[in-house]
Amino acid sequence: MLLKFIVLIISIIALYLLAIMPKLRPSKNLKNMDGWLYAHRGFHNNGSEAPENSLKAFALAVEKGYGIELDVQLTKDLVPIILHDYNLRRVCNADSQVSTLTYEELMNYRLFHTQEKIPTLKEVLDLVAGKVPLIIELKIPWRAEPLCSAVSELLKDCSGFYVIESFNPLGLIWYKKKNPKVIRGQLSTDFRREKMVGDPFQYFMLKHLLLNFLTKPDFIAYHHVHRAGLSFTICRKLFRTKPVAWTIQSQEQLDNCRKYYDIFIFESFIPR
């Protein structure tokens, strides 16, 4: 009886490790992420003329020598635009869903009471022109194919270094199948502690990185507050997966995270 119990426990542990196992031989180009600090949604201040995910914020990041993290989603007519929220309420004071608006309609709105429009991915790529690396978060509410396909088409002629990441594992699976040379990262956090509204089972799977066996990420971007999570720690220490911290908001947080992460996404302060 004891032997069966031991075998059962070993089997469960083995299955767990197989489930969270990322790509064991990540892309050689992954090293190009190193040596940069990444400005979250550009070097922005939502009380200034350079709000988040605006061309001015991206231009400032380039000027100051920071890499850039940005968010991409689709308009109703399938144009990849740069915006974090699915709804315009917070950023444009308008209760409208991005997915219900065409690109032309979206151009009527301004970010945080400034003159800044919501930029397209193409505009950002033209602005950055390969001067700094990009971490491109794919905002995928359900189906991955429309956004991944549109973004992949634009990025095929990108002159600089970039990686993609997403909370939605379907986006990583799409890239693994359709464009495997692109470096991909799994975004995650402790969804319950963050009090996010959603399916508890899905959030459990994502928090514990239990779909890594399908997505095979090159890196894992984890909320720095929850860096002690078991699955994240195993991926970092046992599988040696590159850990990316989001989002650092003070020098103190940055200093406290240095031994846990290789890459840092920051906002609201000037890091040193």
Which residues are catalytic, by number? 40, 84
Q: How far apart are CA 157 and CA 250, in angstroms?
A: 36
